[in-house]
């Protein structure tokens, strides 16, 4: 194979700029991403910041001094809630990620986030952090406070007991157990309630949780790699599997990742997130329709790693159970719906369909998923390579994808020297944001010198410097 490497200029994508008054005092907050605590412990040192928000390594300066326009304040503090919530990314499943900020007289007096299922919710940590200062304060929370007893008491009652005067909520909880009951409870006791602040941002934070609550199915994302001239590649770009790379982050965010048996047999390893404190996903290996036994070698499996083989009754799988602790489930016929049903029964709520290895293992699964509208999202990595031979073709199901559906909110991101595109299938249950739809045309253009998808990229990327990649978060059930 003749492969030519192309250099790609690096760009930094920044979130929207927050305009804040000058000469504001800042309380520095430091958090440990590996901690099971949902507290953000304030440091003693105070500092001035010209724009109210400042970074000090792992410390984040948060505006605490001067009151602004109420609407601007609400948006600022809600964005902070989302930032806090994301500290627990990959750890809260099956619960949603939630952040909370307590503000009094224009100053942040308490912060918290939900660290993991079974632990106190964000509101509880924030109220503990605020102490007596929570009385007559405003509580900002990215998701509606619960009003029922699960593994933890109702957050609505904690807010009432703390005597907050106002609660600002990013979005209403779609969980039917919650569904506005928490807001109604707060209003019943005279607490002022505002909803829908930075709602789209809060929805993106828990998009998979929302999907599961509305449909009862796990959130499914298809990921694959391609060259700049539109050929499928069975490889990852340089650095993307390392800490901070998009692939390492994807593995951290999903409950399960589906792989072909050849991907494991050839690599003799399982993909793992390199993010600090990452909760590794379940590794699902698909083994089907083989004329000879599929041999899965002894793998280097950490105690926290989980691996399961899904095979049909016609396939013989040879593996070393004692050494690897691999579980095997045999179906009469493997289908994506059957796999998702199994994942759902095991409390696994988000699934990454990783197209590596022998993609023929995935043909029927992809066809099944697309026709039954079980796939919500596409992530495409475009490597800076020109594949002249194009020996690997796209799966048949992906070749015809552009004829069936469109992608909405096609967003670009740079990961090292690779371009990462993500978009949502319009046929899925929910569209994200307000950007125009894009056809996914690259998979069926192997003969084109430059895939149409890259033309879309060049126009959307350079015209929107604020474009960001919002990874799918884990699903959850409120508890």
pLDDT single digits (tens) 314-340 = 666 666 555 556 788 888 888 888 899
Q: For residue 323, is it within any domain?
A: yes
Same domain, yes or no, for 202 and 250?
Answer: no
Three-state DSSP class for residue 56: strand
Tokens representing 302?
Answer: 């950490």
- Determine whether 302 is an active site residue: no
Same domain, yes or no, for 268 and 173?
Answer: no
Per-residue pLDDT at 69: 57
Mean pLDDT taken over the chain: 74
315-319 long-range CB contacts below 8 Å, 24 or more apart? Answer: 315/287, 315/288, 315/289, 315/290, 316/290, 316/292, 317/261, 317/287, 317/293, 318/293, 318/294, 319/295
Same domain, yes or no, for 242 and 342?
Answer: yes
Alpha-carbon distance of 66 to 64, in angstroms, equals 7
Catalytic residue among 111, 123, 207, 422: 123
b/e sequence 285-314, b meaning 16+ C-beta within 10 Å:
bbbbeeeeebebeebebeeebbbbbbbbee
CATH code of residue 314: 3.40.430.10
Number of domains in the chain: 2
Structural domain for 361, as ranges: 217-426
Same domain, yes or no, for 402 and 371?
Answer: yes
Q: For residue 29, is it within any domain?
A: no
Phi and psi at 396, nearest 5°, equal -55, -40
Three-state DSSP class for residue 195: strand
Alpha-carbon distance of 376 to 379, in angstroms, equals 10
* Terminal CA-CA length for the chain: 53
**DSSP label at residue 376:** -
Q: With beta carbons less than 8 A apart as the criterion, state whether 407 and 443 touch.
A: no
Same domain, yes or no, for 146 and 233?
Answer: no
Three-state DSSP class for residue 146: coil
Same domain, yes or no, for 194 and 233?
Answer: no
- Of the two residues 2 and 20, the one the predictor is more confident about is 2
Same domain, yes or no, for 202 and 227?
Answer: no
Q: What is the pLDDT of residues 380-435, one digit of tens each?
A: 999 999 987 655 556 655 665 555 567 899 999 999 999 999 999 885 444 343 33
pTM equals 0.74
Alpha-carbon distance of 431 to 415, in angstroms, equals 25
Alpha-carbon distance of 55 to 67, in angstroms, equals 21
């Amino acid at each position: 194979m003749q492969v030519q490497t192309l250099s790609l200029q690096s760009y930094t994508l920044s979130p929207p700029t927050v305009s804040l008054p000058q000469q504001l005092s800042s309380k520095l907050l430091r958090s440990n991403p590996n901690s099971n605590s949902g507290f953000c412990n304030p440091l003693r040192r105070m500092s001035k910041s010209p724009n109210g928000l400042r970074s000090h390594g792992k410390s984040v300066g948060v505006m605490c001094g001067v009151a602004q326009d109420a609407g601007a304040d609400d948006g600022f503090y809600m964005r902070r809630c989302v930032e806090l919530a994301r500290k627990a990314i990959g750890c809260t499943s099956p619960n949603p990620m939630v952040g909370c900020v307590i503000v009094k007289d224009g100053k942040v007096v308490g912060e918290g986030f939900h660290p993991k299922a079974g632990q106190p919710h964000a509101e509880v940590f924030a109220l503990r952090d605020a102490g007596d200062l929570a009385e007559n304060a405003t509580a900002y929370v990215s998701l509606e406070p619960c009003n029922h007893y699960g593994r933890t008491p109702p957050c609505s009652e904690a807010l009432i007991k703390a005597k907050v005067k106002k609660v600002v909520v990013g979005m209403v909880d779609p969980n039917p157990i919650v569904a506005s009951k928490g807001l109604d409870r707060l209003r019943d006791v005279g607490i002022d309630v505002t909803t829908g602040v930075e709602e789209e941002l809060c929805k993106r934070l828990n998009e998979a949780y929302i999907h599961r609550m509305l449909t009862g199915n796990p959130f499914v994302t298809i990921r694959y790699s391609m060259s700049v001239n539109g050929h499928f590649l069975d490889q990852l770009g340089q650095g993307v599997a390392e800490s901070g790379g998009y692939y390492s982050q994807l593995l951290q965010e999903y409950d399960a990742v589906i792989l072909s048996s050849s991907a494991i047999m050839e690599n003799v390893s399982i993909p793992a997130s390199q993010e600090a404190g990452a909760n590794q996903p379940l590794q699902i290996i698909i083994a089907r329709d083989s004329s000879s036994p599929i041999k899965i070698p002894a793998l280097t499996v950490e105690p926290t790693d989980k691996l399961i083989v899904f095979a049909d009754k016609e396939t013989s799988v040879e593996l070393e159970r004692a050494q690897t602790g691999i579980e095997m489930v045999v179906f009469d016929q493997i289908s994506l719906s059957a796999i998702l049903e199994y994942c759902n029964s095991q409390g696994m709520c988000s699934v990454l369909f990783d197209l590596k290895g022998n993609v023929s293992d995935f043909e029927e699964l992809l066809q099944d998923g697309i026709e039954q509208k079980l796939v919500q999202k596409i992530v495409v990595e475009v490597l800076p390579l020109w594949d002249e031979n194009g020996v690997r073709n796209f799966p048949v199901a992906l070749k015809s994808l552009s004829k069936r559906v469109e992608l909405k909110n096609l967003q670009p991101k740079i990961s090292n020297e690779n371009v990462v595109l993500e978009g949502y299938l319009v046929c899925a249950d929910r569209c994200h944001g307000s950007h125009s739809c894009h056809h996914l045309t690259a998979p069926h253009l192997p003969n084109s010198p430059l895939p149409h998808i890259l033309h879309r990229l060049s126009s959307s990327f350079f015209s929107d410097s604020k474009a960001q990649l919002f990874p799918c978060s884990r699903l959850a059930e409120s508890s």
